[in-house]
Amino acid sequence: MTNSEPLLPERLARAITMAGPIPLSQFMGAANAHYYATRDPLGARGDFTTAPEISQMFGELIGLWLADLWDRAGRPSARYVELGPGRGTLAADALRAMAKTGLKPPVDFIETSPTLRAAQAERVPGAEWHLGFTGIAEEGPLLIVANEFFDALPIRQLVATEDGWRERLVACQDILFLPIAGDRSFDMIIPPDLRGAAPGSILETSPAGVAVLRGLATRLTAQGGAALIIDYGYEGPAIGDTLQAVRGHAYANPFEEPGEADLTAHVDFATLKEAAEAEGLIVHGPVTQGAFLKTLGIEARTEALAKASPNRAESLAIDRDRLIGEEAMGELFKVLALTAPGWPIPAGFA
Ligand code: SAH
């Protein structure tokens, strides 16, 4: 070894040149692993902003949602588990709200990025970090939260061509990456009603998302507890290319400079629901984020905070509207709850 590690684009280009085009999932996985490992992407000076970074009310209401469920489950000795906690803001807000009800759980974070682990440690001292569910104590119910986590996991895309359905692969010319259709036919796994889709149509699957969900579900059925999954998404299968790159709060080309932009895809909640049910969990929703937060009392909470600090009233109302407004996050973002058999029905899913 001489010099330093080659940069990600060079590494990917060399791998593709030597071994041929790679599945989009591999490209997206490598790009995001590099992206998250090398920066804190959140906030005004980063690439994107998430609900907990907009307002403390988001994490607080989720904390109270969990505490209510835990209370009605008989106040067992539970653990708080968060997947992809970002800066740890949601967890800090949720834990503060939970503590007021008497719920003070040990905290497990599933996080790959060393940069973000450091940020999380500042906000939630005493947390433990893991790369997956392995290593999280196998005793006691789990209270699991995942906000904008599943959308960051790698997807596969199938594309309709004149010759049938093919996997979308990533090829490379010099250092330019571009999507191409592979040689192998995938016709046999396409749902019958989508088989005749026009050439160019794209169908997405998320094997990584399903794998994470199965792991989560196995733990919940064995240990009890609940999970709250919040993300932008749809109930598929559906035709559509939702792969997007965001950099500096603007859309970018997902194939340009891999590892320098946040690559995401919309989450197919129908697939997650199916996997959860197959593992024996009870599924609630999805409902829209707007409806969920309103049922949990975001409007009253905004007013209470505004009363306590009148000079913040206007900005509190703006933040609330970003979270629940139809044109903002209120409609596009969905909330899915999963509970272990025997657990109470969670609030917000009547
Ligand atoms: N939930 C936070 C951050 C969302 S960004 C918020 O709402 O602000 C996505 C988060 O998932 C980051 O913390 C990122 O490092 C983490 N992440 C992405 N892919 C991951 C993976 N495969 N395993 C574990 N964590 C991952």
Residue ID of nearest Cα to ligand 1 atom 25: 111
User: What is the value of pTM for the model shown?
Assistant: 0.96
Ligand 1 atom nearest residue 37's Cα: 15
Choose between 175 and 324: higher pLDDT. 324
Percent pLDDT > 90 in the chain is 94
Average pLDDT, integer, range 82-102: 98
Euclidean distance between CA atoms 192 and 166, whole angstroms: 16
- CB-ligand 1 contact for 262 (6 Å cutoff): no
Which of 129, 285, 134 has its CA nearest to residue 218? 134
How confident is the model over 11-50, as pLDDT tens digits?
999 999 999 999 999 999 999 999 999 999 998 889 999 9
Residue ID of nearest Cα to ligand 1 atom 11: 84
Ligand 1 center from residue 17 Cα (angstroms) = 30
- CB-ligand 1 contact for 223 (6 Å cutoff): no
Q: At 2, is the pLDDT very low, low, confident or very high (cuts 50, 70, 90)?
A: very low
Return the HEC string of the chain: CCCCCCCHHHHHHHHHHHHCCEEHHHHHHHHHHHHHHCCCCECCCCCECCHHHHCHHHHHHHHHHHHHHHHHCCCCCCEEEEECCCCCHHHHHHHHHHHCCCCCCCEEEECCCHHHHHHHHHHCCCCEEECCCCCCCCCCCEEEEEECCHHHCCCEEEEEECCEEEEEEEEEECCEEEEEEEEEECHHHCCHHHCCCCCCCEEEECHHHHHHHHHHHHHHHHHCEEEEEEEEEECCCCECCCCEEEECCEEECCCCCCCCCEEECCEEHHHHHHHHHHCCCEEEEEEEHHHHHHHCCHHHHHHHHHHHCHHHHHHHHHHHHHHHCCCCCCCCEEEEEEECCCCCCCCCCC
Ligand 1 center from residue 84 Cα (angstroms) = 3
pLDDT of residue 350: 80
Residue ID of nearest Cα to ligand 1 atom 6: 86
pLDDT of residue 1: 44
- CB-ligand 1 contact for 110 (6 Å cutoff): yes
| pLDDT at 5 exceeding the cut of 70 | no
Euclidean distance between CA atoms 34 and 8, whole angstroms: 7
How confident is the model over 227-245, as pLDDT tens digits?
999 999 999 989 999 999 9
Ligand 1 center from residue 278 Cα (angstroms) = 25
Ligand 1 center from residue 194 Cα (angstroms) = 32
How confident is the model over 120-166, as pLDDT tens digits?
999 999 999 999 999 999 999 999 999 999 999 999 999 999 999 99
Burial profile 237-247: b = 16 or more Cβ within 10 angstroms, e = fewer? beeebbbbbbb
The average confidence (pLDDT) of the chain is 96
Residue 234, CA distances (Å) to 26, 239, 263 in order: 23, 11, 18
Q: Domain limits of the chain?
A: 8-339
- CB-ligand 1 contact for 224 (6 Å cutoff): no
Class of domain 8-339: alpha beta
Average pLDDT, integer, range 76-105: 98
Euclidean distance between CA atoms 312 and 303, whole angstroms: 10
Structure tokens at 302: 């905004």
- CB-ligand 1 contact for 289 (6 Å cutoff): no
Ligand 1 center from residue 55 Cα (angstroms) = 18
Question: How many of the other CB atoms lie within 10 Å of CB of 20?
Answer: 11
Asked if omega into 9 is within 30° of 0 (cis), the reply is no
| pLDDT at 80 exceeding the cut of 90 | yes
